Amino acid sequence: MDPVLHAISAALELFAPSQKTFIVAVSGGPDSQCLLHAMGALAQADPTLRIYAEGLDHGLREAANDELQLARQLAEELNIPFNSHMLDVATKGNTLANARRERYAYLRTRALELEHAPILTGHTATDQLETVLLNLSRGSGLKGSGGMAQFSRGILRPLLGISRPEIMQYIEHHALPYALDPSNEDPERARTQLRDSVIPALRALNPKADHHFNAYTQRAREAEDYIAGHAMAWCESHMLPANGLEISLLLEEPPALVSAVVRLWLTRVGLSSSRTTLEQVRKLISHGRGTLSVDGELIELSNAKLWRPSRTSYTHRLSVPGKVSVGHMGLELEAKIANDPSGPLAPEDYRQQTRKFVAFDLDQLHLDLVVRAWQPGDKLKPFGLEGTLTIGDLFTNLKVARPLRLQWPVVTAGNDVIWVAGLRRSAVAPITQMTRDVLQLECRQSSAWAPWGLFDD
């Protein structure tokens, strides 16, 4: 079998064995013309295959529409439905990146219309070689060395094991018309410089350079996936409330895992995971404590815990009976009513109140209960103590980490804070000899992320 047809058949069998409908992204260039023709040949051999050609004009070059006509003509010869679409690409910022984003967004929309059909693109082993060389020249690690995945998010690249010289041999053998994008000849573009000098030099050293680099990217992706899996497991077992990370044991791990864990945590908290940021955070960890500004946001390291302090505003009505989950803190608050129809409840029944379990005289609370984040200026009159205490001072006394304070839940009745959940109740509505209905509030850990050590009564 022809090497191109063999590569495509193998990719379809591996990544889409039960799929019969495919979208081929075409431009009129040699790679996509080769792919379109080969898919047409496979469809002739298997009439159950349905192929749709999608030509996209990014509106960036006048010749693009003429180039698409070559793809249209080939599709018509192969009895493949052809559709062309003009994209609206923003020219502000990185135009090529904008075009790529719009292109894939449109193709994925079409794929949904066609029963989630895989989208085939004409990326080759030579494209992979260029991508990896560019990434390495910019200082990439394993992730950049992995280049393009053959199948990712509905995009299938069946020609990734075929070099561009092999593509051109197929084109010439079948006398296929094609167009060349003049922008690919721009000497200012990094890829053009690679094509003109670096790649020919590599092929002179080894004619199979394109294929060897593609095989290398596969090994790099396998290694990256292995490390990323371990990093995921490490993060899951060391995450703290409010997206904190316990790192006391992290530096005992291999450097590759340390970097992967930090990168994953940065991504989770919505910060840049660039190489520069990664190096800065690792340096912060080696110092043991301190702060770092990333993307205008603060990273804080204290007591072997890495935080991105941020205030989260939330307000939940707590029904009685009922439950409220404060998921980002790993906590669940529950309200219950206890009563005794035979007479008042004895105060001594509730002497064993703890940080996690508190009780109030329900008849003395006349307003709805609300669970919300602590706010600066909040105060309470601590049960069993004289005077009032700001909740900020309470946090300080209990050595609650500053990032946790910003999101800590309190329970209010009207304007009164009656409970700093899991920490201290107020003197409001105590149980007395006259109490008939008791409001019980309980704070439980809803996940392993709950604030460890703060519930040890």
Q: Are residues 319 and 303 located together in one domain of the fold?
A: no
pLDDT at residue 340, rounded to an integer? 54
Q: Return the closest-CA partner of residue 148 out of 167, 122, 115.
A: 122
Q: Is 87 exposed, middle or buried (0-12, 13-18, 19+ CB in 10 A)?
A: middle
Q: Are residues 209 and 69 located together in one domain of the fold?
A: yes
Count up the domains in the chain and report the number: 3
Q: Are residues 321 and 303 located together in one domain of the fold?
A: no
Does residue 285 sit within a domain?
Answer: yes
pLDDT at residue 314, rounded to an integer? 93
Q: Which residues of 171-181 are buried (b: 16+ CB within 10 A; e: fewer)?
A: beeeebebbee
Does residue 455 sit within a domain?
Answer: no
**Which residues are paired to 21 by β-bridges?**
50
Q: Are residues 171 and 207 located together in one domain of the fold?
A: yes
Q: Are residues 171 and 302 located together in one domain of the fold?
A: no
Determine contact, residues 167/34, Cβ cutoff 8 Å.
Answer: yes
Does residue 155 sit within a domain?
Answer: yes
Does residue 450 sit within a domain?
Answer: no
Structure tokens that stand for 104 in this block: 């894939």
Distance CA 44, CA 21 (A): 14
Distance CA 188, CA 186 (A): 5
Report which secondary-structure segment, H or E, holds 370: strand 369-373
pLDDT at residue 454, rounded to an integer? 45
Distance CA 374, CA 389 (A): 14
Q: Are residues 189 and 272 located together in one domain of the fold?
A: no
Does residue 346 sit within a domain?
Answer: yes
Q: Are residues 290 and 355 located together in one domain of the fold?
A: no
* Domain end call among 259, 288, 307: 307
Measured in Å, how far apart are the chain's first and last C-alpha atoms?
Answer: 74
Q: Are residues 260 and 156 located together in one domain of the fold?
A: no
Q: Are residues 330 and 279 located together in one domain of the fold?
A: no
Q: Which residues of 280-308 are buried (b: 16+ CB within 10 A; e: fewer)?
A: bbbebbeeeeeebebeeeebbbeeebbbb
Q: Which amino acid is at 306?
A: L
Question: What CATH number does residue 182 fall under?
Answer: 3.40.50.620
What ranges make up the beta strands (E) of 247-341? 290-294, 297-302, 305-307, 315-318, 322-326, 331-339
Determine contact, residues 444/355, Cβ cutoff 8 Å.
Answer: no
Given a cut of 50, the residues of the chain with pLDDT beneath it are: 343-345, 452, 454-457
pLDDT at residue 303, rounded to an integer? 87
* Domain end call among 267, 288, 307: 307
How is the beta sheet containing 437-445 ordered, strand by strand? 322-326, 331-339, 437-445, 357-361
* Domain end call among 281, 307, 333: 307
| Other beta carbons within 10 Å of 373 | 18
Q: Are residues 289 and 338 located together in one domain of the fold?
A: no
3-class DSSP state for residue 373? Answer: strand
Distance CA 263, CA 259 (A): 6
Structure tokens that stand for 31 in this block: 């790679």
Q: Are residues 84 and 207 located together in one domain of the fold?
A: yes
Domain that holds residue 429: 315-445
Does residue 227 sit within a domain?
Answer: no
Instruction: Find the DSSP H helices in 86-208.
Output: 95-113, 125-137, 142-145, 164-173, 190-193, 199-205
Does residue 393 sit within a domain?
Answer: yes
What are the pLDDT digits (tens) for 178-192?
999 888 888 999 999
Q: Return the closest-CA partner of residue 437 out of 341, 370, 357.
A: 341
Q: Are residues 34 and 138 located together in one domain of the fold?
A: yes
Does residue 113 sit within a domain?
Answer: yes
pTM metric for this prediction? 0.78
pLDDT at residue 13, rounded to an integer? 96
Distance CA 383, CA 119 (A): 65
